[in-house]
Structure 1
Amino acid sequence: MLELGRAAYDAVLDHARADAPREACGALLGRREDDRVIAEAVRRVPNVADAPRVTYELDPEATLAVFDEAEATGREVVGFYHSHPAGPAHMSDTDREQASWPGYVYVLASLAARPPILDAWTWTGERFERADVALADK
């Protein structure tokens, strides 16, 4: 289960809207407790994909900086997010082909849905498994 603070939820959707029609992407910082992944903060990461309207690629240097920040603040990178400005409300074939962080949560913000949908999956290394999302007051 992904527990997402209200501020983090809003930050993901705000980033998705701001970057549209390009796919927005970033990282989730927080902690793991038993079966829960608790995302406390969101860090935007530039999308450096060749075709940013239909795919995303996290900027490697900015991603490394987020991992460094997490370590320095006693948190960990618990997942990643990206948006589908006009695409499906589920992970695409491209998302599956490019997933590379087994055990991490992948959040998808779909702006095509009304209202926008924010869902999560865990990458097993072979496939995405749906993760429940709980919205926390924090």
Structure 2
Amino acid sequence: MRKSKIFIKKAMYNELLAYCLKEPQKETCGILAGKAARIEKIFPLTNISDSPKLCYHIDPKEQLAVFKELRKQAIEMVAIYHSHVDSQAYPSQRDIELAFYPESSYIIVSLSDPGQPQVRSFKIVEGKIIEEELVIENA
């Protein structure tokens, strides 16, 4: 089976890393939007988890506001992103359990070495993890 791809421009990729590195001791989270598998816009959202170093919980009011904005702009949710403070860029059991959008990608940024963040993308469908190729475009 051929690995699916998700595309992000280098400047937007750097912006995503900057959001995650802003609070390296807390899982940051948000929505990446665009068309098809091309990310065009980042919507950073608030992590309202009681244990933000260990997991993320997107503020539902903010998430709803982003969904309304996506409809208004005629773009779609391409991916949900979040960072891992002390673990690899791979879905945790909790990430798998909370993967409610099978059509969406899940991008995980590992900050276990903040000088060298690792970024990987996955589809999570019915508990099955399928890694995607994250293509960073230069223009």
Global fold match (TM > 0.5) = yes
Pairing 1:37-116 to 2, within 5 Å after superposition: 37-113=37-113, 114-116=115-117
**Corresponding residue pairs, total:** 134
- Gaps (5+ residues) in structure 2? none
Give the TM-score, by structure 1 length: 0.91
* Structural RMSD (CA): 1.2
Q: Distance in 1 between matches of 2:70 and 2:125?
A: 23
AA aligned opposite 2:23 = D
Aligned-pair CA distance for 1:89? 2.3
Counterpart CA distance in 2 for 1:128 and 1:58 is 21
Correspondence 1:6 to 2:10: yes
Q: TM-score scaled by structure 2?
A: 0.90
Matched, 1:123 2:103: no
Equivalent residue, structure 2, for 1:15: 19
Say whether residues 1:28 and 2:28 are aligned partners.
Answer: no
Q: Percent identity?
A: 27
